[in-house]
A = this chain, B = another copy of it.
């Protein structure tokens, strides 16, 4: 029996994954040179599909990294000389902050407990912060920040760069890249691919900053995957080192599948499926939503408090072939996390909702 994965990442593989990997193998794409026109065409196709899906303008490049975690480091190295500012409300937004400290940046933090979200109105950005680090979807806590609030921050601070972690939500959030300097995600979440590729979207303002910082003796922008080198190669539809051709190919094919459905439909269906889950939690005697403010409830990773030990709940669902995630960090035994990505159908969500009612 095949399990249904509702885990927040690695998540369920997209239904067309197997078909696409078969075509990758049949076409012998695993052996093509990454300096050939054949590769450049493949690379360009994926970038174009992502540009369409996420409305990425030509002011921004689409770059490929080993993971989204690598993006945290590359953004900090290339876009921050002295000071960064971090909105932290969970384990992943905190890691972005931890990375800044490890790189000896002066990292400001505005922190809230897990389960709480940020609104633009309450945020005081430190005067000398060069980069505002936001997390659209905090995977550990199931909290989202509204794109409108992210855009407001940039509107109020046009002199600063703004970064958006959309690891576990892209392509759901309708970001306006006119108001987002850089964003990043990984493919093992909502794109339904195996892990091993990070996507870094980054604009000319970030590039200009990296090119300036590169001249300084007092700091380094890194040697591997520094922004100017990545950008220069991306203009040729290439990468500096041998890329993960298979994942780049699969990402392009799945982005094409999503474009066929249409981003508006995907966003609407995501919200409809999330509503089914949140309603189930609200009407349950065993569960309730961890995030209480409706506007901060993630549409892509739904986190529920469990009144019984969550490991019992997880085993019960596993017995029915449904895999959900455990709570994160201090909430490991007290919560479950449910991914709501495009790979997951209404039918599967209904099946899970019924099973949650029966726990």
Contacts and interface: CB of A to CB of B under 8 A. Distances in A.
A325 interface: yes
A302 B186 CA distance: 38
A58 interface: no
Most chain B CB within 10 A, of A17, A33, A325, is at A33
A188 to B, nearest CB: 6
A33 B7 contact: yes
A242 B9 contact: yes
B102 A222 contact: yes
Contacts of A73: 222-224
A76 to B, nearest CB: 7
B242 A67 contact: yes
A221 B77 CA distance: 12
A242 B10 contact: yes
Contact of A30 (B13, B99, B224, B226): B13
Interface in A1-45: 2-3, 5, 7, 9-13, 17-18, 21, 25, 28, 30-34
A201 interface: no
> Which one of A10, A13, A188, A323 has the greatest number of beta carbons of chain B within 10 Å?
A10
Contacts of A246: 194-196
A223 B9 contact: no
A72 B226 CA distance: 13
Contact of A196 (B186, B221, B244): B244
A300 interface: no
Contacts of A222: 73, 102-103, 222
Contact of A102 (B7, B25, B102, B226): B226
A19 B325 CA distance: 30
Number of copies: 2
A2 B30 CA distance: 13
A56 B246 CA distance: 29
A195 B12 contact: no
A111 interface: no
B3 A28 contact: yes
Contacts of A325: 33
Interface in A310-345: 323, 325
B70 A34 contact: no
A65 B67 contact: no
Contacts of A244: 66, 194-196, 244
A306 to B, nearest CB: 18
Contacts of A25: 13, 17-18, 21
A69 B242 CA distance: 9
A195 B243 contact: yes
A197 interface: yes
Contacts of A307: none
Interface in A93-144: 98-100, 102-104
A325 B103 CA distance: 40
Nearest to A100: B223
Interface in A52-88: 65-70, 72-73, 76
A241 interface: yes
A50 interface: no
A196 B11 contact: no
